[in-house]
Structure 1
Amino acid sequence: MNVVGKIFRMTLPASLGVILLASCETDLKEVDRIAAIQAEEPVDISQGVTVVYSDSALVKAQMTAPEMRHYNVEKPYYEFQKGVTIIFFDDIGAETQRITSDYAIQKETEELTEFRGNVVITRADGSIIKTEELIYDQKANTFYNHVPIEAYFKDGRGNFMGSSFTSDASFENIEVQNSTGLYIFEDGEGPAFR
């Protein structure tokens, strides 16, 4: 074997080792850089959160979440990466509705709260609304969304679906776009057909 062959055989493994070490070093530097950025994020993290909203000494709502993150940035926001539940109460303290979702974000400056992933609105009368997105506009005191919605009546007598909806804050006046539905009338109810 000539000298070049011997050098090549000896140099190739050494060269591969240097390349692998260099790429590992680059990856480790990237991991360290990302960790440093995350460590510098201006975020406060709270675990096992319960927040009670009241007005004139009356409890209006209670929010619970496994984790709440508050980002102290130019446009501050709260993030609930592990889900959230909000229960609303009337003036005598009875539950009127609840909202649960897998994720939520409250944008303080825009005064918007977005619920995403398995969003379920349960009314005190037993009616249920399901969707993948729900947005609350604090300024207008309304809820709306841009994705399909399904609703089920309290007594199991029907349901409806739509492409999106808007509603007042109490879910009393809901406008569903492109809706279809099914409702089962009992004897004596509904329109008369001849």
Structure 2
Amino acid sequence: MKNIKNIIRSIVVLTGIAMLLSCENSILEVQSITSQEKAPESSGEEVEFIFTDSTRIKYRAFAVEFIEIKTEDADYQEFQKGGKIISYDDDGTVAGQIEANYAKHFVSNQLWELRNKVVAVSDDGNTINTELMYWDQNKGLIYSDQYVRIIDKDGQVLEGDSFTSDDKMNNIILKNVTGEVYLNDESQQ
């Protein structure tokens, strides 16, 4: 009986050694696979970011949940549960704000991708609604190639299938426009 147990132990040990020696993955292969994973560099909940230029606050971003990813191919911040960005003029007044249910900030390009119920409001009351919007901070542009609905400060509604604007929403270019525009005839008053 003792010999049978020794034989079984020997078979188990030999099988284990054979399995280890038969592995084809080298340590370098395992390291290269694991280094490509998108492990967060940092993360947080209920966070606020302040972006400054020469000690002046330019933007503040608020997020329910935040992760930062840094790999050889990508460097971005992701706001999977959405958030809000408020931009400021040089004098510190609010220039506008954008809210979305999802946002991604490509750090090196200074490009924001905003998705799902995106609402941008300018300081003078113009509102842009869309499902996808990009904000290129380097160029000072916001744009989308998807359906967009714009409500101006007077309540007029315009719709289109894409738009481009400066990031202050002063010069909006809407393509394939539909909507109702009401003109006030002052000569009848």
Within 1, Cα distance between the matches of 2:94 and 2:166? 17
- Among residues 158, 173, 179, which one is paired with 1:181 in the alignment? 179
* Structure 2 gaps, min length 5: 1-33
Within 1, Cα distance between the matches of 2:127 and 2:137? 22
- Decide whether aligned partners of structure 1 residues 54 and 160 sit closer, same or farther in structure 2, where only a CA change above 3 A counts: same
How far is the alpha carbon of 1:43 from its aligned partner? Answer: 3.6
> What residue in structure 2 maps to residue 82 of structure 1?
81
> What residue in structure 2 maps to residue 164 of structure 1?
162
How far is the alpha carbon of 1:138 from its aligned partner? Answer: 3.2
1:1-194 alignment, distance < 5 Å: 41-74=39-72, 75-156=74-155, 158-188=156-186
The amino acid of 1:162's aligned partner reads: G
* Structure 1 gaps, min length 5: 1-35, 190-194
> What residue in structure 1 maps to residue 24 of structure 2?
none
> What residue in structure 2 maps to residue 192 of structure 1?
none
- Decide whether aligned partners of structure 1 residues 138 and 94 sit closer, same or farther in structure 2, where only a CA change above 3 A counts: closer
User: Deviation per CA, 1:129-166, whole angstroms, max 9, x where unpaired?
Assistant: 1000011223323111110000111122x110010011
Contact 1:42 1:73 in 2 (8 A): no
Contact 1:61 1:89 in 2 (8 A): yes
TM-score normalised to structure 1 length? 0.71
- Decide whether aligned partners of structure 1 residues 91 and 153 sit closer, same or farther in structure 2, where only a CA change above 3 A counts: same
Within 2, Cα distance between the matches of 1:77 and 1:120? 22
Number of residue pairs the alignment of both structures matches:
152
The amino acid of 1:57's aligned partner reads: T
Show structure 1 runs of 4+ deviating over 6 A: none
The amino acid of 2:91's aligned partner reads: I
- Decide whether aligned partners of structure 1 residues 40 and 94 sit closer, same or farther in structure 2, where only a CA change above 3 A counts: closer
The amino acid of 1:148's aligned partner reads: Y
TM-score normalised to structure 2 length? 0.73
